[in-house]
Amino acid sequence: MEILSKLLGTPARVKLMRLFLLNQGKGFNNKEIIKRSRVSPSIVRKEISLLASVGFIKKRAEEWHFNGAFKYTKEFERLLITSDTLDKELILNDFKKVGKLKLLLVSGLFIKKDDSRVDMLIVGDKLNKGKIEKEIKKLEAEIGKELVYALFDSKEFNYRLSMYDKLVRDILDFPHEIIFQTKELSTQALKKD
């Protein structure tokens, strides 16, 4: 996202633009925008003013909405949503700090597949749920959309895998990308039969 921040002016602007592009049917008041983007109130006011002045967003009933008639919608969607702008190595480094990580898998939003059940699967032991939630919130602010994720300890994941659990099978049988995997969770075990 660093390149986009430089091209588009600020990281805050990129976050807000993604927030509106990924949630085109929704409206947000300033308080919600601040919470979801994790950007300071003064910067949010400044960026909202700028985005409204160019017609990117418009205000309806005390909420800001993406302007569906914005002239460059498709171009910004390609640039901010469909391009691979998230550094998966940085994501991995952040999630390695949450406990003994065994598997980190992304799908859904991360690989541009809207029909995935989850966006992220996290498997490990002695995982700190508070730290995981913090990292998820940080990612959501970067991306501009709430993430759906599944979290399992190794024992439960292996049990669900052996029982052909529908959620686990749906994640593994459909497009996904493994960002991190220990030898304990062999590649063969993760492939569908």
- Token pair, residue 157, equals 């994941």
Sequence-distant (≥ 6) Cβ neighbours of residue 49 within 8 angstroms: none
In this predicted model, what pLDDT tens digit does every residue of 100-133 receive, in sequence order?
999 999 988 888 777 788 999 999 999 999 999 9
The model carries a pTM of 0.69
pLDDT of residue 1: 47
Tell me the two tokens of residue 163.
Answer: 């029982």
Structure confidence by residue, pLDDT tens digits, 27-63: 999 999 999 898 999 999 999 999 999 999 999 989 9
Distance in angstroms (rounded) separating the CA atoms of residues 66 and 7: 21
- Does 109 or 159 have the greater pLDDT score? 159
The CATH architecture one would assign to domain 88-190 is: 2-Layer Sandwich (3.30)
The CATH topology of domain 2-82 is Arc Repressor Mutant, subunit A (1.10.10)
Residue ranges per domain, the chain?
2-82, 88-190
Residue 64 has pLDDT above 50, yes or no: yes
Question: Residue 42's pLDDT is what?
Answer: 95
- Average of per-residue pLDDT across 162-181: 90
**Average per-residue pLDDT in the chain?**
86
Alpha-carbon distance values, 147 to 116, 117, 119, 120, 155 (Å):
11, 11, 6, 8, 24
